[in-house]
Amino acid sequence: MQKLTNKEEEIMHILWKLKKAFVKEVMAEITEDQPHYNTLSTIIRNLEDKGYVGHTAFGNTHQYHPIISLEEYRKTFMKTALANYFDNSYKQMVSFFAEEEKISAEELREILALIEKKK
C-alpha cells in the first residue's frame, strides 16, 4: 500500500464518508485550502492509480468510490507508525501518550478492561 500525501488522505476521508462521489461533491466537502477543480480531479485520479479509489463512468463523468476501506488503511498506518516511531512496542506507544497527557488513567483502565475481556 503506497503512502498517501496529506491532501490525498484528506480526500480519502471524504470518500470514506460519502461512500461514492463525483469530483464536485468531494469539492463541496473541502472547507479549507480548497484546490482548483482540475487539481482535485488529478489528486483523485492519482488515488485511483495508487489503488485506493475506483470509478464508475457516466459518459464523460466519473463517480469515485474507495477500494481500500478506512479500517484497512488504519491498520497499515498504525503498523507503520508503530514500527517507525515506537520500535514496534505498544508499551512505548501507550507510554508516549500517557507522558504527553493525551490519555487518562481512566482511559487506560478502560483499555485494560477491553484486553481482559478478549482473553
Q: What digits encode the pLDDT tens for the residues 23-75?
A: 999 999 998 888 999 999 999 999 999 999 999 999 999 999 999 999 999 99
- Assessment of whether the complete model's pTM goes beyond 0.95: no
Element (H, E) at 65: strand 61-66
CATH number of 6-66: 2.40.110.10, 1.10.10.10, 1.20.1600.10, 3.40.50.300?
Answer: 1.10.10.10
Q: Which of 11, 9, 8, 12 is nearest to 67 (CA)?
A: 12
pLDDT value at residue 33: 87
Question: Boundaries of CATH 1.10.10.10 in the chain?
Answer: 6-66
pLDDT value at residue 118: 81
pLDDT at 119 over 80: no
